[in-house]
Amino acid sequence: MPEDAAAPLPEDAASGAEPSETGKPAAPRRRRWRRVLVWSSAAMAVALVAGAGTAYAYYRSLRGNMIEHDLSSALDEADRPPKIGDDVNILFIGSDGREGGNSDYGGRDFVGERSDSLMLAHISPDATVDVVNFPRDSLVDLPECDPYGETEGTAAYYGMINSALFHGGPPCVVKTIESLTGIRIDHFAHLSFVGFRDMVDAIGGVDMCIPEPMEDERAQLDLDAGQQRLDGEEALSFVRARYEIGDGGDIGRIDRQQMFLGALADQVTSSDVLTSPSKTSGLLQAVSRHTATDGDLTLSRMISIGATLAEVELTDIAFYTVPWAQAPFDPNRVVWDEARAAELFAAIAEDRPVDDRMLESGDTPSGEPSPEADEARAPAAQPSEAAVEDGAIEGRDATSNPCANGLGEGTEEK
């Protein structure tokens, strides 16, 4: 071969990936670009904050809009689980309070607020994310909580998990989850209905496939079947609907919420959201106006978490619901399967893989595996009989397709 002739490209190079020193393909181009983008954005943000007063003032104005809670003063460190590794656990608390703009949603009048949804996002340094949903109808041992803000506190008792927010605000919710799971909560975000709606609108809506027409008058939901883009109002109605869809229970609604979050993750990572100043600014402003967090969730901490999330692919995001069973004395409530729940919580607390032999990955409507499913960390096939018999933990990854995998019809037919 002449010296100036081009040598044939390795197979990795032809596909857009660079071979590593070990001969194994490196990360695909999309992941590498996203990593460069986020690190560049992070470096720019740090430079602006360090050298430009206007940028720092902008950050301070955003942070000034948010309510901050000091968990270290509200909770007794001696009662909290220890911090084990470099993973990050963020608790997301969706509020059903009816104050302000939230009064437009929901038909009941009551004092105070309860958690309409509870999700724990476990972000591992190895660029995987596990999201655990806690059914709001769960009957659990609630811990004693001190009065906080306008709340009156509570003695320990057996009741619904969503009452913790009513009794002691976000610190009581954190204490409840930590006492039940043994997982250390590093940060939390307390979000309202209006905040969720505005965040979806800020990124231009979320594309989703709706397998059949869906209506729920109480949630103000009215969607046609087919591929469509949900705006903020439609997305909020979709994730809140429960009474007129499936069996009207919370478990089916959690299934739909997980499907939506998978579509949201796909939208954010595959579109121009992260590269659009207007969308990014709108998203930050929506978050700052309608979200409360712990005081330790600083700008530098957000940048650090964002850098880890830049490595995450859709197949690296798994959704789980705490293993449960119907309460024997109340068909409208659930109790946890203690053995399987303990297995799930231990894996999260110790930052090790969940036994996900029953993890569902996305299939296309034709039944052919999607490109994402080909690279999934668990197969999309039906679980084996052995997995079912030994109580393997069920879940789904973010590639799950509502039009192929179903859409949270609930635990039983109406």
pLDDT digits (tens, 9 = 90+) for 371-400: 443 343 333 444 555 555 556 788 888 888
Crossing angle of helices 338-349 and 164-181, rounded to 10°: 80
pTM over 0.75: yes
Question: What's the whole-number mean pLDDT along residues 69-86?
Answer: 91
pLDDT digits (tens, 9 = 90+) for 122-136: 999 988 999 999 999
Tell which phi-psi region holds residue 270, choosing left (phi > 0), alpha (psi between -120 and 50) or beta: alpha
Question: What's the whole-number mean pLDDT along residues 16-40?
Answer: 46
The amino acid at 313: E
- Give the pLDDT band (50/70/90) at residue 362: confident
Map residue 161 onto helix, strand or coil.
helix
Question: pLDDT above 90 covers what percent of the chain?
Answer: 38
Q: Could you tell me which residues come within 8 angstroms of residue 82 by beta carbon, excluding any fewer than 6 positions away? A: 184
Q: Could you tell me which residues come within 8 angstroms of residue 185 by beta carbon, excluding any fewer than 6 positions away? A: 89, 90, 91, 120, 174, 177, 178
Question: What's the whole-number mean pLDDT along residues 150-163?
Answer: 95
- Give the pLDDT band (50/70/90) at residue 54: low
Written as six digits, the tokens of 372 are 């994402």
pLDDT digits (tens, 9 = 90+) for 34-46: 554 554 454 444 4
pLDDT digits (tens, 9 = 90+) for 257-316: 999 999 998 888 776 776 777 887 788 888 888 888 998 987 678 777 877 887 888 889
Residue 385 has a pLDDT of 53
Residue 271 has a pLDDT of 67
Q: In what order do the strands lie in the sheet with 187-191?
A: 67-69, 291-294, 187-191, 88-95, 115-123, 129-133, 317-321, 394-397, 358-360
213, with CB counted inside 10 A (0-12, 13-18, 19+), is exposed
20 vs 129 pLDDT, higher one = 129
